[in-house]
Every structure is written in C-alpha cells, then in structure tokens.
Copies of this chain bind each other. A is one copy, B any other.
Amino acid sequence: MTINSQDRLPSVDQKVNNIPLTANSMRVACSQCNLRELCLAVGLDDNDLHKLDDLVVKRKLKRGQQLYRAGDAFEAIYAIRTGFFKTDILTEEGLEQVTGFQMAGEILGMDGISNDRHVCNATALEDSEVCIMPYDELEELSRSIKSLQQQFHKFMSREIVRDQSLMILLGSMRAEERIAAFLLNLSQRMRLRGYSASEFHLRMTREEIGSYLGLKLETVSRAFSKFHDEGLIGVQQKYIRILNADGLKALLNHAPN
C-alpha cells in the first residue's frame, strides 16, 4: 500500500499522455483488438475505428503496479486489454475500501472526470495491459463520431448502475448472500469473455473481497468453507470451482430480512 517510485515510469523521450513510448507502452490498433465488441469501440465502422486507433496508446503494468492514484491529475481513461485490476479508496482513518474489480474490456478512470482528479487508486492485481485514451482527445472525437459518443455515455451509465447494484448488496444482503452474489457476478463476467464460468482463479485476497463486500476477511473465509461443505463450490485457496450455480442463486432469493 505504500507508494513505490518504481510504479511510475520514468519520463523520457517521446511521450504520450506523459507515458513514454517504449517497449511497454506502444501504439495499438482498436481495429484489430479482439475486445472491440466489449470496449468503447462497439458499433464503430472501420473508418471511425481508425480515428480511435490514432489516439490510443498501450501500457503494460506488472502485478502490484498502480495505474493511477487518488489525487492524480485526470488525463485519460483506460480500457483494460488483459489482466485484472482493483480500485480502492483510502478512508479518512486510513482504511482501504475496495470499490471495484475490473477485467478485460472494462473501463477505468471515469471517476476522475468530475473534478479533474482521480478519487480512487487503480492497481493491477496481475500483469496487465491497458489502452490509454487521452480524455480531451476522446471528448473531441466523440463530438464528431455519434456512435462513439453514445457508447461512451453508455459506459458511464453502466458504471452508475453497477455502483447502485453494489449499494443494494451492501444495504440489504447478509454475508452469505453477498459472497454468493460476488461469485456469481465474477462467473458471469468470465463467461462473457469466453473463459470458463465454472472455474477460475481469484486474483484478490480474502481481505480485498471482504473490503469490497463490507465484510471482514474471516467472514469471507467462513462463507467459502461453508459453501464448500455444502457442495456448492470447490475452494483451494484462490482456485474456485462453481459446482452448483443454481444453489448459489437460491441463496439470493429468499432473504430473511
């Protein structure tokens, strides 16, 4: 959680959005990205896709590196090409609160638009690659490309809806329901990306899951063990198998409160 100067790339030579164009940050073509159906590029024709290409730059991050930090000047939003991230906020008392986990095709950084500064930290939980989209250029381009504008607005709105689902989870579900919902959500997002929905590696710790769900790590661990005993899931540390998805879903419905 301490700030490591290595997390930041040195400032040299040619730069795009303050990131040097070196081996780990280079031009990339949206037109050839296999995520373009998940990403901002949805629905763009070839011509427009090339315009988007012109403003996108790639950057690689090692596990543990931060993409941006709370307080950083807001310059760009980021589309995840590969890898896995968490976003978190340090509360007044210095406690970390995780606000989300993001995977390929999802957009990071939109929280920064409101005040020209990021309000949360974004950290790679595994080696990852993002597309940097300088915000002022994106704004300009989206004034001339209607479907880009629409897509961008949909992404922002989706973030709002996502946050509200989490509010409901935090405000009305009990511990085991939250965990079940969390696992099902992850599973669903894996499926959407063509990965197995029934087995995957968690990239985050129990503590991070707990922080995200408003629970303590012990509670998360206990719920995993209980689900395991009931044959709902298989658990081996971070390797999870969903054995009975319907059983998990059943936990969500008849909430006692």
Contact = CB atoms under 8 A, between A and B. Distances in A.
Interface of A: 89, 91-93, 95, 97, 99, 110-115, 119-120, 139, 142-144, 146, 149-150, 153-154, 156-161, 163-164, 166-168, 170-172, 211-214, 252-255
A113 B253 CA distance: 27
Given A91-B255, A113-B153, 13 more contacts: A97-B167, A99-B168, A114-B154, A120-B164, A139-B149, A139-B150, A139-B153, A142-B143, A143-B143, A143-B144, A143-B149, A163-B167, A170-B214
A233 B20 CA distance: 55
Contact of A171 (B120, B143, B150, B211): B211
Nearest to A113: B157
Stoichiometry, as copies per complex, reads: 2
A92 B157 contact: no
Contact of A92 (B119, B211, B253): B253
Nearest to A152: B153
Contacts of A143: 142-144, 146, 149
Majority DSSP secondary structure for residues of A touching B: helix
A91 B168 contact: yes
A167 B166 contact: yes
B161 A160 contact: no
Contacts of A99: 164, 167-168
Contacts of A253: 92-93
Contacts of A171: 97, 170, 211-214
A185 B93 CA distance: 19
Given A99-B164, A154-B114, A158-B114, A172 B252 contact: no
List 4 A-B pairs, minimum CB-CB distance, nearest first.
Answer: A113-B157, A163-B163, A171-B214, A114-B157
Contacts of A146: 139, 143
